[in-house]
Structure 1
């Protein structure tokens, strides 16, 4: 159940309470559902009881106590807790730890893609400049993932080295129709080809189109300060975890037990991985809609950082035996690796299993 669906569920429960005479208040058009704050619990929380309490002539906690049993009976909700002055904390049944991870692993590199095609057509035209051509090539891949049929064109034929080294492709070249908007990202300050395909493409795609890209050796450095290294390293770690788990005699299993046996901080780290997996389709859609591959690149960095913070909890330590929780955490790490590989592929960048 997504936050939007959960918001509708809360409103439905309130309407039923009003219809039953348990509350006398105008039902708002929308309610906010978000992650619980300090002192909260469950998967989501809403302050709707505080929002309508004065109009209902009751305390927020009294309103929450009316809504709580109705919400608890809704499909997909496992439990309701009231905290603070009247916050409703919602625990989902079969939480995202199983459904989401199974979806990511099951769809593989197609997770977040739109099927079937939408029937939309797009033409991307760029000047004869290396960054513009790379951006158009990445957008072609991203838009295609969202069900759009794309044609990329350029003022002139791309330089042969751009095609050979950077693996770019355009459908045609020449003067575009006058009514066709030309994509004009800030040009690269120098030739990026010496960086090689992966680092050069990242250097040109990671900054926003209106920012001047840097094409220095920092993109080749194998250290944490290099975002490309972190993304590819996180993907390699996810694959290493699978190999190491096999050596210990267990495989992944997508269940909601990923947080079992974890301390609070570790459980929050697991939740952060789930959050970035949930947000990945929105990041893809946003990158396509705004013609901004940098949005996808930045989301991959966020995903990598979440996985690297969480990955130390996946394998058993010392004499600890593999448990269902370890299998669930491994599935979560594998799902994050799947998203990293799929996202890098859309940017035209490789995701090696060993780094």
Structure 2
């Protein structure tokens, strides 16, 4: 069970409790679950009972008890505890099955892993100034919210800069809107699209404009072109290229990724593999948060974290056998995780409008 699955499970429990008359409160649009902090209980925690206590006119502990019995019966949930003033803490059952579910979801959904329909009811209109960082940010935000099911229209205060097209930017309308629209107002880049494209090219330009939070200055120097670990964009794209190279290397050795077909035995995702798998499991939540907060920088930081965890995993748990070593079930499972990381990196870069080459 992924964090997104658990969130939907808790939301279903709330809706069922309301339908059955056990709670008299409006059903929230979404329920947020978070990884338990150090020293806490269980794998995940949720404050929905505290959120519903006032509208339900019940103590939060009673609301938590109502939800606990409904969530605990769901497949994949091993234990549900009530902690503090009414927090629900979840321990997931069969972690190996949950790990498989995450990797199967990445494999089945491909670059669309993490896309959803949470914003399907929203019709959005964004408006931005005739400035390159505002235009690129609006374009990336459009991609993020569309990936979550929203419909979007983007307008610019003046006619578009022709060079924006070379950055993949499109605008639906120009001029002052008749009614106030949601503005995209990051700190200006201090350069035009043409100047940035000449110095950096489209991919480094988009990364340099999108990686900082909108209120921070964008660093647009030559460091963005450095082919080394100090450059986060290179590190992200190199991790993707390395993941793809592992697949090609495995094919030459005559094996592919996968798990124990009988589902037996310990699942080999621990140690250095665990942080990478956890980041991949959290990826849908990061994409949704980036869409809700109009913050493509969150996606960029997520990709950096995935790339860092990928290299730690790769160095500690090589997916390819060395020397005369025969490919084993462990190698197949490690390769599955490496391929999932590559897919997440490619999908995230695509949402930012940045290419993910298979060779660097």
Answer yes or no: is the 8 Å Cα contact 1:97–1:258 preserved in 2: no
Q: Could you say which structure has the larger radius of gyration?
A: 1
Aligned to 1:177: 178
Structure 1 residue 260, shift from structure 2 partner: 5.7
Alignment map for 1:90-169 (pairs within 5 Å): 92=94, 94-115=96-117, 118-164=120-166, 166-169=167-170
Answer yes or no: is the 8 Å Cα contact 1:283–1:299 preserved in 2: yes
Counterpart Cα distance in 2 of 1:114 and 1:268: 30
Whether 1:76 and 2:107 are equivalent positions in the alignment is no
Aligned to 2:311: 308
Unpaired runs of 5+ residues, structure 1, are: 12-30, 47-70, 80-86
Structure 1 residue 321, shift from structure 2 partner: 1.1
Query: Which of 213, 218, 221 is matched with 2:223 structurally?
Result: 218
Deviations 1:21-45 (A, max 9, x none): xxxxxxxxxx99737869x9xx948
Counterpart Cα distance in 1 of 2:128 and 2:175: 10
Q: TM-score, normalised by structure 1?
A: 0.74
Counterpart Cα distance in 2 of 1:170 and 1:282: 28
Counterpart Cα distance in 2 of 1:229 and 1:311: 17
Q: TM-score, normalised by structure 2?
A: 0.73
Structure 1 residue 160, shift from structure 2 partner: 1.0
Deviations 1:83-142 (A, max 9, x none): xxxx99765254332111011111001111114971321011000000000000111111
Counterpart Cα distance in 1 of 2:293 and 2:326: 48
Aligned to 1:17: none
Structure 1 residue 317, shift from structure 2 partner: 2.0
SS of the residue 2:154 aligns to: strand
Whether 1:242 and 2:247 are equivalent positions in the alignment is yes
Structure 1 residue 316, shift from structure 2 partner: 1.2
Whether 1:186 and 2:191 are equivalent positions in the alignment is no
Aligned to 1:295: 298
Structure 1 residue 163, shift from structure 2 partner: 1.1
Answer yes or no: is the 8 Å Cα contact 1:76–1:94 preserved in 2: no
Answer yes or no: is the 8 Å Cα contact 1:257–1:325 preserved in 2: no
Structure 1 residue 307, shift from structure 2 partner: 0.8
Counterpart Cα distance in 2 of 1:335 and 1:322: 19
Answer yes or no: is the 8 Å Cα contact 1:236–1:354 preserved in 2: yes
Unpaired runs of 5+ residues, structure 2, are: 14-32, 46-70, 80-88
Deviations 1:252-273 (A, max 9, x none): 11467998678xxxx3221111
SS of the residue 1:169 aligns to: coil
CA RMSD of aligned residues (A): 3.4
Aligned to 2:286: 283
